Amino acid sequence: MVATGTVQSKIESGIATITFFHPQSNSLPGLLLRALASEIEKHGNDESVKVIVLQSEGEKAFCAGASFDELMSINSFEEGKHFFSGFALVINAIRKAPKFVIARIQGKAVGGGVGVAAAADYSIAHTSADVKLSELAVGIGPFVVGPAVERKIGTAAFASLSINATEWQSASWAREKGLYSEVHPDKTLLDEAVQKLAMRLSKSSPEAMKQLKEILWKGTSDWDTLLSARAEVSGTLVLSEYTKKAISSFKQGAR
């Protein structure tokens, strides 16, 4: 149990399944982000694990992104940077894991949730898994997750998603742009596809997969520094009066 959420994992047949949960649409407060990054790193370094499956609980949202309650409580640059650094830790843990990470995306992904889906090496989604980068609408911007999203879908699509921050894009759009590798029409088929790929990879050459992952992530060796700098940008913007009012207004409208 982490705060009011959880991060749990299990290993079976060389497949490590990491599951996160938060009652607010699987949003990610800072402690949950760090717990998630720690689990990914742990299983990445476990020789008995051949492949990692990352998923969230429930049948609705995959991940609502940053916890608005926590964003509202940030009162200093240090607190802001520390919070946004949590997303950097998760993305870099996926990037550095010497094995493939498959993401199971069963529902909508917002903000940081899109970043997690983009950072995964292979994302398999349900048709309900619409995406939105809502950060600009509350005065921040998808700075920390941006490199992962842009790497996966390209600059033009990333710009479109970032600028049109209040509009959802469909799972089929995400598939066309390369964010999702597969999209399935029901949850049974989604689970079958995740399990089939994970089982196949669990029997593949660990060294070959490690070498292929290094090739696929070529050019990202500076991301520890880059994402830390991006967290500083977000940590500054979250303190603005505009952002405080925008988040407060959003929360009131959601009630």
| Domain coordinates in residue numbering, the chain | 6-187
Instruction: Give the Cα separation of 46 and 162 in Å (integer).
Output: 36
Which tens digit of pLDDT belongs to each residue from 29-65? Answer: 999 999 999 999 999 999 999 999 999 999 899 999 9
Q: Fold for domain 6-187?
A: 2-enoyl-CoA Hydratase; Chain A, domain 1 (3.90.226)
> Each residue of 164-176: pLDDT tens digit?
999 999 999 999 9
d(Cα 184, Cα 13) in Å, to the nearest integer? Answer: 24
Q: Which helix (H) or strand (E) holds 229?
A: helix 223-237
Q: What is the mean pLDDT of the chain?
A: 95
pLDDT for residue 162: 98
Three-class DSSP category at 141: coil
Give the burial class of 203: count Cβ atoms within 10 A of its Cβ; 0-12 exposed, 13-18 middle, 19 or more buried.
exposed
Q: Is the pLDDT of residue 23 over 50?
A: yes
Chain segment 62-97, per-residue pLDDT in tens: 999 998 889 989 999 999 999 999 999 999 999 999
Structure token pair of residue 232: 């500083």
73, 244 Cβ separation under 8 angstroms: no
Give the pTM: 0.95
Q: Which of 138, 80, 91 is nearest to 113 (CA)?
A: 91
On the question of pLDDT at 255 being above 60, the answer is no
Higher-scoring residue by pLDDT: 2, 236 = 236
CB contact burial 146-172 (16+ within 10 A = b; e otherwise): bbbbbbbbeeebbebbbeebeeebebe
